[in-house]
Amino acid sequence: MMVSKILTIGLLLISLTISAQSDLEVLEKSPRHHEWVELENDGRTLYNFVVYPEVSQKAKVILVIHENRGLNDWARRFADEMAAEGFIAVAPDLLSNTSENMSKTSDFENSDAARTALYELDPKQVTSDLDAAFDYAKSIPAGNGEVSVVGFCWGGSQSFRYATHNPDLEEAIVFYGTAPKDKADLAKIQVPVYAYYGGNDARVNVTIPQTEEGMNQLGNFYDYEIYLGGGHGFMRSGAQPDASLENSQAREMAWSRLLEILN
């Protein structure tokens, strides 16, 4: 019992130390291999931030779908944190070459401009880009052939939507994103869907009962947790130096559940 408490305290201190750093600082101090992979899709270059774990065997690949502000430092940090847990992370920049003179998210003037551009994307193009990233993820020599998708906010909704399209996923992970409204789309899902919601996120949470009812009626697997006190975006805000206790705790609990599912 004493050993368990010591380990718990140690893990908490490590988490607090990491959270005291900015997203960019975490990335710059990472010992893991980072690289940009360019994929040609529909006449465009799709940029993907890829992180490899320091492991001796082939690893599962996680397709990371960013929030509505594009592939920013936090999204890349999450990819690095996935690799720290033994997974290969592939994070496509879905704003790649979608606007004139804007090759990547980092080319936009600010996050608001990136968000505006993101909501103007054609859903079919998003699916096509995710297919390209998925095919690449499946082909990585160091990968074990298993690919899961994890998305946040807008990316959470895209993760749910991508599950209606790709039956070859291992599972779809949805962080505070909404499900497709059309039950006919839900009927196409053949993979488990795991969802995470913040308790203080009524805009998203009011959609949960309808989603749960629809998935249950179809016999689809849908399992979710609501983290009391957590706000929308708690995985990002809970990792920041000024994180509230509620968001920080929600993030820690969600991480534990995420790793149990993916492993």
pLDDT in tens, 30-82: 999 999 999 999 999 999 999 999 999 999 999 999 999 999 999 999 999 99
- Confidence class of residue 84 from pLDDT cuts 50, 70 and 90? very high
Beta bridge partner(s), residue 147: 61
> For residues 163 and 169, is the Cβ–Cβ distance under 8 A?
yes
Res 2 pLDDT > 90: no
- Residues 192-206, mean pLDDT to the nearest whole number: 98
Question: Residue with structure tokens 């408490």?
Answer: 5
Alpha helices in 30-110 (DSSP H): 73-84
Model confidence over 115-160: pLDDT tens digits? Answer: 999 999 999 999 999 999 999 999 999 999 999 999 999 999 999 9
Model confidence over 221-258: pLDDT tens digits? Answer: 999 999 999 999 999 999 999 999 999 999 999 999 99
> For residues 61 and 146, is the Cβ–Cβ distance under 8 A?
yes
Distance from CA of residue 258 to its chain's centroid? Answer: 11
How far apart (Å, rounded) are the C-alpha atoms in residues 244 and 240?
Answer: 9
How high is the pLDDT of residue 12? 45
- Confidence class of residue 20 from pLDDT cuts 50, 70 and 90? low
Selection from 243, 68, 62, 61 nearest residue 152 by Cα? 68
How high is the pLDDT of residue 17? 47
Sheet holding 88-92, edge to edge: 33-41, 44-52, 88-92, 59-65, 143-152, 172-175, 193-200, 222-231
**How many CB atoms within 10 Å of residue 47?**
21
Torsion angle of the four alpha carbons 27, 31, 33, 34, in this order, in degrees rounded to the nearest 10 = 10
Cα separation values, 256 from 53, 68, 86, 260, 261, Å: 18, 25, 14, 6, 9
pTM over 0.75: yes
Token readout for 49 is: 């931030």
Model confidence over 97-118: pLDDT tens digits? Answer: 998 888 999 999 999 999 999 9
Three-state DSSP at 110 gives: coil
Per residue, the 3-state secondary structure of 210-247, as one string, reads HHHHHHHHHCCCEEEEEEEEEECCHHHHCCCCCCCHHH
- Confidence class of residue 22 from pLDDT cuts 50, 70 and 90? confident
How high is the pLDDT of residue 19? 54
Res 201 pLDDT > 70: yes
Distance from CA of residue 63 to its chain's centroid? Answer: 7
Model confidence over 204-225: pLDDT tens digits? Answer: 999 999 999 999 999 999 999 9
How far apart (Å, rounded) are the C-alpha atoms in residues 194 and 187?
Answer: 16
Alpha helices in the chain (DSSP H): 2-19, 23-29, 73-84, 111-118, 123-139, 154-163, 183-186, 202-205, 208-218, 234-237, 245-262
